[in-house]
Amino acid sequence: MRVNIGGNRYTFTSYMRSSSESEWYGSYSSTQPLQLKKNNLLTLHLVGTTVGPLQLTAPKTAEELGELGASDIQQDVRITAFPVDLGGGLVRVQLLPTLTAESGLTVHAYGLEPLVPGSGLYIENAAGEKAALEQPESMSYPSDFRFHETAGAGAWPYTVFIPYIEVSDHDAVSAEVEIPLPDIGQEQMLHTRAEIAGFPVEFTRIERTGETAASVDVNVNFNAAKLRTLKHFLIRYPGQADNSSFSWVNKDQTYGVMKTLHLETKPGEDKLRFKLSEPHFLLKGPWRLPLKLDS
């Protein structure tokens, strides 16, 4: 997609598309820095269609949006819920998290399902009865869901309960971890400790599964009873500025305390070196958001 803004032309690339019933949603990001002014006009050129010109307006602040919905603050994270009556007893709710810019945190999900069964967000009516949630798989945003009003009069107000949220710290990087590599087909027990963003982890076993691959067991000390607890992290190899992709499996399905990471190795090396980065961890609530529809 190409965009004209204030006489400058920019290229935007798509990184997410999804649909819900007859509506389509798309998110695009610019491949170059934008030069924006309040009085700029914007014209979109998308698949042979021109949209605009459109007047750019300053975005609403979190404080301004907070007045339009119900908010609650836990652990310095405010979540605001915006309900919309879709008719036929169906209500759509959008959640807006607000974090300080200094924290560097990003909210990814609301709840621990399926890691901790029964820990996802839920809706209760005025009588304490749970309403049925509708969360289409095609919708990529966990902050957007719908629920069906319960039968009978006097159900309002409904309240959204969020027991946990999952956040990540993109800027966090640990010191380098060094683990001895055994011969191909051999394994070795470990007691290698590391720390990321204040969360201690321990690597307990390594197996050289091939010339360029190894599996490593790590205990992330997950504890859902704590206010903050580590869920997982990303890996960054020496000399790389970006995180690397890797896979894992939860060895202990009861809360996923132990994980097996499948990491890359180099031929001939006798040590595996990497850094932990971008930890994903859980913040414990609950956040309570009493919904109110405009009459």
Lowest mean pLDDT among 30-34, 123-127, 221-225, 233-237: 30-34
pTM: 0.72
pLDDT reported for residue 136: 52
Q: Greater confidence, 27 or 75?
A: 75
Q: 10 Å Cβ neighbour count for 96?
A: 17
Pairing of strands 105-110, 228-236: unpaired
Is the N-terminal amide bond of 238 cis, ω within 30° of 0? Answer: no
Which region holds residue 126: left if phi is over 0, alpha if psi is between -120 and 50, else beta? alpha
Q: Answer whether residue 166 shows pLDDT above 50.
A: yes
CA distance 246 to 262: 6
The overall average pLDDT reported for the chain is 80
CA distance 215 to 24: 41
161 pLDDT band, cuts 50/70/90, is very high
Q: 10 Å Cβ neighbour count for 236?
A: 19
Q: Answer whether residue 107 shows pLDDT above 60.
A: yes
DSSP classification of residue 150:
P
